[in-house]
């Protein structure tokens, strides 16, 4: 055994080494001790450091994640804002549109009076016209619904007087829809020539006669939806037939009616269907047919289109348009249309001498 080995053994056994012996520390022991502690320290440091280094990015990441929804929410909010605005605009748009269209349906009277005041004034005008024209009636001569519908179609762009002079010959030759449906158009045109637009009117009366024969068994239908399907028959003609042949209420919105209700400021509408709807709101349905006769009678005799006879008008105090025509009573009376005799000068009631014993006019005014 060498000295070195003995020394090592002595050390291992716990005995002090001999003097002069050279003892080398076991490399593995030192290495093990140093290597064990160094990596341990390094690992411990790493472990301690790791939580310090890792949380930092983790916190940053957490903050980033926390911030991300905020940004997203902010962006979403910005994007949602126009959407809400658009939705609000969409909801508001119909409201505005409805607000604009509502007045068109129930528009304020042109005179500026309340709806209640307008109703009262309109109904008072009708009551006074009823006293002035107690004999008001359809001024077309007819004996049955077929004659009435044909005469009403022929009355377009001409006077009722001219139609009444023409229809006797027409109905004498073609008394039924079946007869007129197969008539020679040239022969019918010759009869209708005095009424004007005789070719178009011939086409209409022959066409409606064919429709009555083929679709309604030769009978005039008593429903609006059926009448307006006939050639040459519109709402005005249909309501004339319904009101006077079948006793069903309707407003006859002809040129006289349109002119007067606008002049009286019952409505500012210009289209016949809108005028019909506006005036219908002012009166009960039971008044519609006679109201039409009263207004048309007044328009033909006193309230003319070009120069109304304001000074001789019995309802002048109720008329917003008073003064558009002649206001001098004597000059205004000369503007009245009548056949012979005179027109009642009283404001509300015609003189008794103007009516016969049955309450009918002894000297009827001429149709305009």
292 touches 252 (CB < 8 A): yes
- CA-to-CA dists, residue 350 to 64, 304, 340, angstroms: 97, 20, 15
Out of 160, 201, 254, 287, the active site residue is 254
Whether 236 is catalytic is yes
Whether 254 is catalytic is yes
Q: Alpha-carbon distance 327 to 308, whole Å?
A: 9
- CA-to-CA dists, residue 238 to 90, 153, 184, angstroms: 42, 10, 26
Task: Please give the structure tokens belonging to residue 39.
Answer: 């990596």
- CB atoms inside a 10 Å sphere around CB 275: 20
Nearest Cα residue to 171 out of 196, 191, 199: 191
Q: Is the dihedral of CA 312, 315, 317, 319 positive or negative?
A: negative
Q: Alpha-carbon distance 244 to 293, whole Å?
A: 10
Task: Please give the structure tokens belonging to residue 142.
Answer: 């007819």
Nearest Cα residue to 251 out of 224, 221, 276: 276
Task: Give the contacts of 353 (CB within 8 A, at least 6 positions apart).
Answer: 362
Q: What is the 3-state secondary structure (H, E, C) of 236-259?
A: HHHHHHHHHHCCCCCCCCCHHHHH
Task: Measure CA 11 to chain center.
Answer: 118
Task: Please give the structure tokens belonging to residue 318.
Answer: 């109720």
How many residues can be counted in the chain? 368
Out of 236, 274, 287, 334, the active site residue is 236
H-assigned helices in 106-144? 115-132
The residues assigned a catalytic role are: 236, 254
């Amino acid at each position: 055994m060498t000295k070195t080995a003995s020394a090592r053994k002595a050390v291992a056994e716990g005995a002090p080494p001999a003097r002069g012996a050279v003892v080398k520390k076991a490399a593995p022991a030192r290495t093990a001790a140093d290597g064990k502690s160094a990596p341990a320290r390094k690992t411990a440091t790493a472990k301690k450091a790791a939580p310090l280094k890792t949380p930092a990015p983790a916190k940053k990441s957490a903050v980033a994640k926390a911030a991300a929804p905020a940004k997203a929410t902010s962006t979403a909010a910005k994007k949602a804002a126009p959407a809400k605005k658009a939705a609000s605009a969409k909801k508001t748009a119909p409201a505005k549109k409805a607000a604009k269209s509502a007045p068109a349906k129930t528009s304020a009277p042109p005179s500026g009076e309340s709806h209640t005041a307008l109703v009262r004034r309109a109904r008072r005008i009708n009551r006074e016209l009823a006293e002035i024209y107690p004999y008001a009636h359809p001024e077309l001569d007819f004996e049955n619904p077929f004659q009435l519908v044909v005469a009403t179609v022929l009355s377009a762009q001409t006077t009722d007087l001219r139609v009444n002079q023409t229809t006797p010959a027409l109905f004498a030759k073609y008394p039924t829809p079946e007869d007129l449906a197969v008539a020679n158009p040239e022969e019918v045109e010759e009869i209708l020539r005095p009424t004007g637009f005789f070719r178009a009117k011939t086409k209409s009366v022959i066409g409606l006669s064919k429709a009555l024969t083929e679709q309604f068994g030769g009978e005039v239908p008593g429903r609006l939806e059926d009448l307006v399907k006939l050639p040459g028959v519109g709402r005005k003609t249909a309501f004339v037939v319904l009101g006077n042949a079948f006793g069903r209420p309707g407003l006859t919105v002809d040129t006289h009616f349109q002119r007067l209700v606008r002049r009286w400021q019952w409505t500012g509408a210009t289209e016949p269907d809108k005028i019909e709807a506006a005036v219908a709101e002012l009166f009960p349905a039971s008044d519609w047919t006679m109201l039409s006769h009263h207004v048309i009678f007044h328009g033909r005799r006193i309230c003319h289109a070009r120069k109304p006879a304001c000074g001789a008008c019995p309802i002048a105090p109720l008329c917003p348009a008073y003064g558009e025509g002649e206001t001098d009573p004597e000059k205004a009376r000369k503007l009245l249309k009548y056949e012979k005799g005179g027109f009642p000068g009283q404001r509300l009631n015609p003189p008794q001498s103007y009516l016969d014993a049955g309450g009918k006019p002894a000297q009827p005014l001429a149709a305009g």
